[in-house]
Amino acid sequence: MDQNKLWLIMTGFSCNSNCLLCSLRPQAKFNKDKDTEEITEMIRTGQKSGYKRIEFTGGEPTIRPDIFELIAAAKKSGFEEIAISTNGRMLGYERFLNKAVDAGLNRITVTLYGSKPEIHNAVSRTPDSFDQTVSGIKNILTKEKIALSVNTVVCRLNCRDLLETGRFISELGVKVWGVLDLIPFGNAEQFYDILSVDIETLSSSMRRLREITEDFDQIEFFDFPVCVLGKELTQNQRVTVFDAQGRMDEFKQVGYNPRRFENKDDFCEDIHKSRIAVCKNCAMNRRCAGIWKPYPAIFGKASVEKAVRHCAVDFLNSPE
């Protein structure tokens, strides 16, 4: 097993925000949060399987009464990297963060949707959440023992602000930024026709990020069709692309497994994506699962084909 692979524990769906983009929140109606013993057993399983990296995600793991106990259990089991994925709101409280660090927490990923309160709060649908999240980020940055990354999910509300978001995050002192495409599932599926971004606009916003790659140690792109990023960006030494293949290679999720990814005849598949005609001639065809399935219905099949062909020109084996 690759020792860098992450043991990702989905602790439950409860959250103190109600994000428009959340792919998981509606599942709370059908799935109760895992209890302490269930998660402790998952920790033990990961340790026995040889994993050295573990992450608690949700929902929102910081609102669990047992979160410090779970972090301590991971440390006792011998995990070298112990992380949480969070909206960061609770981490603005010095006492809370110190207690988590003392228990063994050494990596945190925080989600921030924009460079301005009006953008972030509109997406989170939680008043004052921008200020709380930024306070959490600033607090984390004072802790030398914590590795911090900040994630931004891209949608129509923040797409044109993306470059400014990156600059804002960099100016805070963050060195690792994750940029995630919008998954048409959960809340995001309900609002996908108004939240999704057409291929050309999305690609334009992504490629502008070349201006700030030097501001970060690493920029990580998740779930985008590789063509929208362009070859210059994907080949940048500071950039990591997690397409369908990258997701399967890097993460092992337990606690809630929607079976999203699978390998069929050496092609990596994502249940939310499909390949269109132009994808068949793309050099990334086997590892990139294509475009989100709702795209043709929202933006028009011919328009999507044309846009993808234009974006993918550097990747096509024999351009038309």
The answer to whether 32 and 12 have CB atoms below 8 angstroms apart is: yes
4-43 pLDDT, tens per residue?
Answer: 799 999 999 999 999 999 887 767 666 789 999 999 999 9
Cα torsion angle, 106, 112, 115, 118, sign:
negative
Q: Is residue 12 part of a domain?
A: yes
Q: Do 245 and 268 contact (CB within 8 A), yes or no?
A: yes
The reported pLDDT for the residue numbered 205 is: 97
pLDDT of the residue at 3: 62
Q: Which residue has the higher pLDDT, 97 or 261?
A: 97
Q: What integer pLDDT is reported at residue 259 of this predicted model?
A: 78
* pLDDT tens per residue, range 197-206: 999 999 999 9
- Structural domains counted in the chain: 1
Summarised one tens digit per residue, pLDDT across range 72-124 is: 999 999 999 999 999 999 999 999 999 999 999 999 999 999 999 999 999 99
Query: In terms of residue numbers, what domain contains 237?
Result: 6-261
Residue 307 lies in a domain: no
Here the CATH number for the domain that contains residue 131 is 3.20.20.70
Is 313 a member of any domain? no
Given pLDDT bands bounded at 50, 70 and 90, which one contains residue 317?
A: confident
Whether 281 maps to a domain, the answer reads no
User: Would residue 182 count as lying in a domain?
Assistant: yes
- The predicted pLDDT at position 216 comes to 98
What HEC string does the chain produce? CCCCCEEEEECCCCCCCCCCCCCCHHHHHCCCCCCHHHHHHHHHHHHHCCCCEEEEECCCHHHCCCHHHHHHHHHHCCCCEEEEEECCCHHHCHHHHHHHHHHCCCEEEEECCCCCHHHHHHHHCCCCHHHHHHHHHHHHCCCCCCEEEEEEECCCCCHHHHHHHHHHHHHHCCCEEEEECCCCCCHHHHCHHHHCCCHHHHHHHHHHHHHHHHHCCEEEEECCCHHHHCHHHHCCCCEEEECHHHHHHHEEEECCCCCCEEEECCEEEECCEECCHHHHHECCCCCCCCEECCHHHHHCHHHHHHHHHHHCCCCECCCC
User: How much of the chain, in percent, has pLDDT values that exceed 70?
Assistant: 96
291 domain-assigned: no
In a domain, 277, yes or no: no
110-162 pLDDT, tens digit each = 999 999 999 999 999 999 999 999 999 999 999 998 999 999 999 999 999 99
pLDDT digits (tens, 9 = 90+) for 205-250: 999 999 999 999 999 999 999 999 999 999 999 999 999 998 888 8
Q: How far apart are CA 110 and CA 133, in angstroms?
A: 8
Beta-bridged to residue 150, according to DSSP, are 110, 177
Does 305 fall in a domain?
no
pLDDT at 29: 67
